[in-house]
Amino acid sequence: MNRPLFEDVLRDNGLDGFVGTTAESVTWLSGYWAMPQWIRRGPQAYAFQPREAGGESFVVTGTGLLDHAADQDLYVRAFHRYGFFAYEDFAEGGGPEAVRLRKMLRGPEHESPAHALAQALRQAGMRGGRVGIELDGLASGVFERVRELAPEVELIRSDALSKKFRAIKTPEEVARLRESGRIAERSILAALEGLREGESEADLALRFHGRTVADGAFPVLGCIGFSERGALPNVDPSPHRKLKRGDTIRFDVGGRYRHYRADIARIASFGEPSDRARKSHHAVQAGIERAYEIIRPGLPASTLFKEIMDTVRKSGLPHYRRNHVGHGIGLDGYEVPALTENSTDVLQPGMVMCIETPYYELGFGGFQVEDMVTVTEAGVESLMTLPRDLMLR
């Protein structure tokens, strides 16, 4: 986690601490990755950090999920567990995980997530304090129950805050996002390898995700569409649409590497593309090239939006329209900043964002260049290595 930014955001909001309840926030605040919380909706795990670095941080989790806490390299100090889970233990031995887990199991077994959280907040010295809490990840009724059980802690609904303090990435986060982006690039190349007439969008998707897995990431986003199907923004690769000479192929793709997302886009062409396809691609690419020229700390996101839109319009698509031309990326696929017309975000060093200019024309095709970049003191650094040009195959 980026502690200085976290402290600033809490201070601006008059908070003494923050309880994250969504999978992303829990991982960010504590390093704790509770797998069941990531793969399903429902399992309750929370992480707390006090505003002041010296204070007590903690994780609340189910007894059955403590194994992850024992096996991971976390930066919280205390663990509060709820519910029964049968770990048997007759030996003294085992690896370091067993040793840590035994220690964690010595703490009291609370009867519910609410009981554990209420007790943990008191123990962390939050009596009389103002504590921000996300409601998004809380099971129904937990918020009200914690207020009853710990009336001396003032809980403030603060769902919007975590995106603020997650906006500026640490070097470790940038490194993971870079690798996540690189895996997506290599997966695009794998999908295009040995491309042949008559194979389907789904065939390409198999090669795409296969490479993602082989490179140690998890498949998440895999929109791959040929020509007119490329105009479907969220195109689900079809086993029926077969590749023909002259087809364009739109990739809007990215997996998850060490919990961090990728989201990139490239256009390929199987054989010679039409003039219209070339022209459309040229325009959306020009928007991204312009972004690279002007991104620097202090640039308002709304200015970046305007510059990119103007460039695409001047470069061959005068009717180009978009809600946004990019977004932050990190543990989630959409983070701060939002690159929209009315965004109030301002670019800052350490932000990682996707810059993108998708163009969807029904019955014709989809064209999109999307890069992951990080804002640096000097301006901008691309996390990509693939050229942004139309890829002729």
Least gap, CB of 238 to a copy of itself (angstroms): 8
236 belongs to the binding site for a copy of itself (CB under 8 A):
yes
Is 221 a binding residue for a copy of itself by CB under 8 A? The answer is: yes
The answer, yes or no, to whether the previous bond of 273 is cis (omega within 30 of 0) is no
Nearer to a copy of itself, 4 or 141 (CB): 141
Please give the backbone phi and psi of residue 290, each rounded to the nearest 5 degrees, phi first: -60, -40
378 in contact with a copy of itself (CB under 8 A): no
The residue assigned the tokens 């510059």 is 307
Does 156 bind a copy of itself (CB under 8 A)? Our answer is no
* Residue 195 contacts a copy of itself per CB under 8 A: no
Type of residue numbered 269: S
Beta bridge partners of 223: 252
Name the β-bridge partners of 392: 269
Least distance in angstroms from the C-beta of 285 to a copy of itself: 17
Identify the burial level of 128 via C-beta atoms within 10 angstroms of its C-beta, where 0-12 means exposed, 13-18 middle and 19 or more buried: exposed
Per CB under 8 A, the segment of 207-215, 298-306, 344-352, 376-384 that binds a copy of itself is 207-215
Residue 8 in contact with a copy of itself, rule: CB under 8 A: no
Strand-pair partners of 248: 269
**Position 234 contacts a copy of itself (CB under 8 A):** yes
Among positions 197, 213, 298, 310, the unique one binding a copy of itself when judged by CB under 8 A: 213
246 binds a copy of itself (CB under 8 A): no
CB of 91 to a copy of itself, least distance (A): 4
State yes or no: residue 64 binds a copy of itself (CB under 8 A): yes
Of positions 53, 135, 156, 392, contacts a copy of itself by CB under 8 A = 135
Rounded-to-integer distance, Cα 170 and Cα 389, Å: 30
Residue 242 has what DSSP assignment? B
Task: Check binding of 144 to a copy of itself (CB under 8 A).
Answer: no
Cα angle 281, 282, 284 (rounded to 5 degrees) comes to 65
**Is residue 386 within 8 Å of 267, Cβ to Cβ?**
no
Burial 190-214 (b: 16+ CB within 10 A, else e): bbbeebeeebbbebbbbbbbebbee
Please identify which residue in 194, 275, 362, 387 interacts with a copy of itself, judged by CB under 8 A: 362
Task: Please pick, from the candidates 173, 185, 247, 332, the single residue that binds a copy of itself as defined by CB under 8 A.
Answer: 332
Residue 31 within binding range of a copy of itself, rule CB under 8 A: no
At residue 223, φ and ψ (nearest 5 deg) are -80, 115
